[in-house]
Every structure is written in C-alpha cells, then in structure tokens.
Homo-oligomer: A and B are copies of this chain.
C-alpha cells in the first residue's frame, strides 16, 4: 500500500499525533492516552505515518518510541512553494496599485 504524505496528513487524528510527537518521542500507549480511541487504532495510524516516512521509531526494551521525521514535512512546504509565489506576486501587485493611487493623490 503506497502511502502519500498528503493522504497521511488528511486525517485529523494523524495531524494530532504529529503535533504530539513533534517535540518529544512517545510510545503508542502514551499517545493513545490523548485520544478517544483504542491503542490499536493509534498503532494503525503510526504504521501509516511510518510507511510514508513521516515518523521514525526507536526501540527501547519492549517499548517503542515514535518521533517526527521533520525533514519529511518539508515536502509539503516544497509543494506549497509554487502557490506561495502566486500569493506573493498578487500581494506585490496590490502593493503596486496602492502606490500608484498614492502617486495620483499627490
């Protein structure tokens, strides 16, 4: 099952998990405590996140710590870049209009 990062962040629970483990690694049980679902459901989400390399795991005895692979998040940023260019251009055009209006008033 080939997962996509955009599909991965589509689910609100997964976005919440991402936010949770962004700053510190956590075990599935600890993560599940924050949600209204079973540990297995969280485990499934973690698997999906791991599959698309948004999350990495580190075993420590029988516990497994999950943490965010922050580098992967840049892919979204990269995709957004083309649109950022557009809104910045539009902003500059608006800026141009405003400054032209200013000149006319002088």
A interface, CB within 8 angstroms of B: 4, 6-7, 9-10, 12, 15, 19, 22-23, 68, 70-71, 73-74, 76-77, 79-80, 82-84, 86-87, 90
Most chain B CB atoms below 10 A, which of A15, A76, A79: A76
Main secondary structure of the interface of A (DSSP, over half): helix
- Closest chain B residue, CB of each to CB of A76: B80
22 interchain pairs, CB-CB under 8 A:
A6-B9, A6-B10, A6-B12, A6-B15, A7-B10, A10-B10, A19-B82, A22-B82, A22-B83, A22-B86, A23-B86, A68-B83, A68-B86, A70-B83, A70-B86, A70-B87, A73-B80, A73-B87, A76-B76, A76-B80, A77-B80, A80-B80
